[in-house]
């Protein structure tokens, strides 16, 4: 039977174009649309509750600002003043200030993933998990050096709020922040069940258990669309409904005054505090987007024009939410007599010859971008062309052709040699230390939604890192078999994509290409037991960097908190196995051999036990997280099965 993939969308925008606020809410489900209008306090039963994902960061920043308003927090004081338990394996952590957490300049590696996302329950202590993990980490850059997206910084803000206020972060959000502006459908996983009806969520097109983001400060605020829009209105120019205007203005300021167009443009909590499209019309726009596995969001505020737009979705992406935000904002601005023109790509032309001095940039680069992730080879085959060849960790190869332009960069071209409609231009940028970066200027259109431009450094040149035969042999053996995560809680969503794949690229010795839930990463091998992130890109291409260390028993620890076991070390699932005894935070993995392939089993187990089945392509084909998952479990050939639960629980196999 063909299953329908249902996407739900809640839209809310408010504007103070007339006295008070005018608001509208709509829903789109199963191809039908309906709209209602009314006050911002409209009945909650017309809306659903969503995880706001990273839009939650603006809430964390605002919570800290409320404490700053009371004289309880100084933004430029060290974090250790408010979180004495905060320690890292890098003495520079003592220089991290509260402000650096809010504008992503702390230098912290990125994201603690262990038990970050749970299905259908929220009984963990995320603050202790974060502090324990950071205590083992180094910094990737000097504090304050550059902005690169960092979830863990907002987890630390959550702890600051708890320590300074004397109440839990969840209570502060509900009783202080939300209550101060009349929001009754805003909270965290701890009280999400009483906020309103949760939106339906889907994984692989199938209805799934509800998702809870346990990093409250970074991504764990839950709310309705109208509550989010009203929250955004607290940042209108002159408003003191949430925090004082002076501190609101500080949140609107970009972290840097540099004219480098490839740096991040974030403010305090905001992804951006200027938008090219609106800046041309003299309109400042603040924006923040977010994604968790099943839900997505974007909040956009024009403070001087007093417009707040929020779009939340189940399915889709934060980029689609952002484009819909822009469409709604454009309509609201037009009602005020401000017409905003759509973005257009730069006017460039192809030039036949590549200057000789540019050809010196041929070689291998570590990429952190949708264009390429991992190791890419740049060459100049002639006729004004640049070729980018990328080999991924799973052996796939891609080739992208670029042509030199009169703008001094290389534009991506189609097979016919024409510049693509979704225009991407790459530039080589030599650094003072002799390193070479590749910068990207991308223009892209989404049908009937709009266009966007994104400028960012995306790659860094890689130099060979010779290894001894002994070290190389150790990593070759390690890369020969994939690994699986084993140390997360039974309800963790990490088991949706639990596998890690590694490969040693032959072209550049001394590196290992790693494929994880964070995408592909190229790590520099230090010795038999350690490989580390080495990129220095001064932007969010350097977010979520990864170090890996190997334990004496062959398991591998990742700096984001997850631990992995080689699939070569897990036992075979045989017909002799009548029961599986479970251990908390220690997954029971089995490989499905020929003897059990195509067999059908059932499992008697406690309600909180979770089972996943994966085929030989490492794809999830069954999980008890699927709503109405069948009791009969079909075992695929050469697949894998994992049982998850708590110590003392037992699964009986029939």
Pairing of strands 588-592, 572-573: parallel
The partner residues of 570 in beta bridges, in order of sequence, read none
Instruction: Tell me the three state secondary structure of residue 557.
Output: strand
Q: What is the pLDDT of residue 368?
A: 87
Q: How far apart are CA 60 and CA 275, in angstroms?
A: 23
Dihedral (C-alpha) 531, 536, 539, 544: value to the nearest 10 degrees? Answer: 10
Q: What is the pLDDT of residue 395?
A: 65
**Chain Cα centroid distance, residue 297:** 12
Q: How far apart are CA 636 and CA 625, in angstroms?
A: 19
Q: Report the length, in residues, of the chain.
A: 654
Q: How far apart are CA 638 and CA 482, in angstroms?
A: 14
The owner of tokens 């028993």 is: 553
pTM listed for this prediction: 0.92
Phi, psi of 28 (to 5 degrees): -130, 120
Greatest extent of the chain over all pairs of C-alpha atoms, in Å? 75
Task: Classify each residue of 386-415 as buried b or exposed e, where b means 16 or more C-beta atoms within 10 Å of its C-beta.
Answer: bbbbbbbbeeeeeebbbbbbeeebbbbbee
Is residue 136 within a helix (H) or strand (E), and if so which, with residue range? none
- Orientation of helix 151-165 relative to helix 126-134, angle to 10°: 120
Q: What is the pLDDT of residue 477?
A: 95
Q: Please choose, from the candidates 566, 642, 538, 557, the residue with its C-alpha nearest in 3D space to the C-alpha of residue 149.
A: 538
The owner of tokens 């966007």 is: 452
Q: How far apart are CA 470 and CA 474, in angstroms?
A: 6
**CB under 8 Å to 302, separation ≥6 — which residues?**
278, 283, 284, 285, 286, 308, 329, 332, 333
Could you count the other beta carbons within 10 Å of the beta carbon of residue 359?
A: 12
Q: What is the pLDDT of residue 333?
A: 95
Residues of the chain with pLDDT under 50: 1-7, 15-45
Q: Are 26 and 11 in contact (CB under 8 A)?
A: yes
């Amino acid at each position: 039977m063909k299953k329908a993939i249902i996407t739900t969308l809640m839209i809310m925008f408010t504007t103070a174009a007339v006295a008070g606020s005018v608001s509208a809410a709509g829903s789109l489900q199963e191809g039908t649309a309906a709209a209602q209008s009314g006050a911002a306090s409209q009945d909650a039963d017309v809306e659903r509750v969503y995880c706001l994902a990273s839009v939650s960061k603006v809430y964390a920043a605002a919570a800290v600002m409320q404490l700053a308003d009371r004289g309880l927090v100084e933004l430029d004081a060290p974090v250790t003043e408010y979180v004495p338990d905060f320690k890292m394996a890098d003495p520079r952590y003592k220089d991290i200030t509260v402000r650096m957490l809010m504008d992503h300049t702390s230098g912290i590696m990125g994201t603690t993933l262990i038990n970050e996302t749970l299905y259908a329950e929220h009984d963990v202590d995320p603050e202790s998990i974060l502090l324990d993990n950071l205590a083992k980490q180094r910094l990737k850059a000097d504090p304050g050096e550059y902005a690169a997206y960092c979830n863990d910084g907002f987890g630390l803000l959550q702890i600051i709020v708890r320590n300074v206020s004397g109440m839990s972060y969840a209570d502060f959000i509900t009783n202080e922040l939300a209550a101060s502006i009349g929001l009754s459908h805003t909270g965290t996983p701890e009280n999400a069940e009483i906020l309103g009806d949760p939106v339906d969520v889907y994984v692989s097109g199938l209805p799934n258990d509800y998702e809870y983001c346990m990093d409250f400060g970074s991504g764990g605020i839950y709310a309705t669309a109208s509550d989010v829009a009203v929250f955004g209105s607290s940042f209108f120019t002159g408003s003191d409904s949430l925090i004082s205007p002076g501190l609101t203005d500080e949140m609107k300021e970009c972290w840097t005054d540099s004219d480098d167009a490839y740096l991040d443009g974030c403010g305090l909590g905001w992804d951006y505090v200027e938008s090219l499209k609106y800046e041309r019309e003299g309109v400042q726009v603040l924006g923040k987007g977010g994604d968790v596995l099943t839900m997505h969001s974007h909040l956009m505020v024009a403070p001087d024009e007093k417009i707040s737009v929020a779009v939340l979705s189940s399915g889709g992406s934060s980029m689609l939410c952002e484009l819909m935000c822009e469409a709604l904002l454009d309509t609201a601005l037009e009602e005020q007599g401000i017409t905003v023109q759509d973005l257009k790509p730069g006017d460039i032309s192809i030039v036949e010859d590549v200057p000789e001095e540019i050809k010196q940039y041929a070689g291998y680069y570590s990429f952190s971008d949708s264009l390429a992730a991992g190791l890419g080879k740049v060459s100049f085959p002639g006729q004004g062309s640049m070729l980018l060849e990328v080999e991924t960790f799973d052996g796939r190869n891609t080739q992208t052709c670029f042509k030199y332009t009169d703008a001094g960069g290389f534009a991506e071209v189609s097979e016919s040699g024409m510049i693509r409609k979704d225009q991407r231009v790459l530039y080589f940028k030599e650094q003072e230390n002799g390193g070479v970066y590749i910068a990207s200027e991308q223009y892209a259109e989404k049908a009937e939604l709009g266009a966007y431009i994104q400028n960012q450094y995306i790659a860094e040149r890689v130099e060979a890192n010779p290894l001894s035969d002994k070290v190389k042999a150790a990593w070759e053996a390690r890369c020969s078999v994939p690994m699986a995560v084993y140390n997360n809680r039974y309800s963790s969503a990490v088991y949706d994509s639990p596998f890690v794949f590694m490969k040693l690229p032959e072209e550049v010795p001394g590196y290992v290409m790693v494929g994880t839930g964070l995408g592909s990463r190229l790590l520099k091998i230090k010795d038999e037991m350690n490989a580390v992130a080495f990129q220095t890109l001064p932007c969010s291409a350097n977010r979520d960097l990864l170090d890996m260390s190997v334990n004496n028993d062959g398991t591998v620890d990742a700096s984001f908190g997850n631990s992995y076991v080689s699939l070569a070390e897990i036992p075979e699932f045989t017909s002799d196995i009548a029961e599986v005894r479970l251990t908390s935070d220690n997954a029971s993995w089995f490989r499905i051999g020929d003897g059990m392939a195509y067999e059908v089993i059932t499992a008697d187990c406690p309600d909180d036990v979770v089972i996943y089945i994966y085929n030989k392509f490492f794809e999830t084909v069954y999980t008890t997280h699927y709503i109405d998952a069948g009791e009969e479990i079909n075992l695929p050939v050469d697949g894998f099965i994992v049982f998850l639960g708590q110590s003392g629980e037992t699964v009986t196999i029939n």
